[in-house]
Amino acid sequence: SITLPSDTFTGQFHVFSIIWDEQRIQWLADDRKYFEKDISPAEFDAFRSPFFFIINLAVGGNWPGPPDASTQFPQRLVVDYIRVFQKS
């Protein structure tokens, strides 16, 4: 897990990155790695197939929990860009 200096994801833009190759996937927030998964075993073959992006603004769930009186609505998910680099 990571903690942002402002302790929140609201109020400013953040850069979320995925570095994905044949051996591992790394997840980063503002250039800080917060998780890595080894995908070299055969049971992860699906991660060596073509993929597409789904972007979702979800409210509730296990984290941070169901909406309550303190939940601010409406919410917005602002995406400045998505960029994909591929090895040649």
pLDDT tens string 57-83: 888 777 778 888 888 888 888 888 888
| Closest residue by Cα to residue 40 from 18, 19, 23, 20 | 23
More confident residue, 39 or 61: 39
Kindly tell me if the per-residue pLDDT of 54 is higher than 80: yes
Instruction: Give the single-character DSSP code of 5.
Output: T
Q: Can you say how many angstroms the Cα of residue 84 is from the centroid of all Cα atoms in its chain?
A: 14
Predicted pLDDT of residue 5: 65
Average pLDDT over all residues of the chain: 85
Give burial (CB, 10 Å; 0-12/13-18/19+) of 72.
exposed
Both tokens of 30, joined, read 């503002």
Whether pTM > 0.85 for this model: the answer is no
More confident residue, 75 or 34: 34
| Interacting residues of 30 by C-beta distance below 8 A, sequence separation 6+ | 4, 14, 15
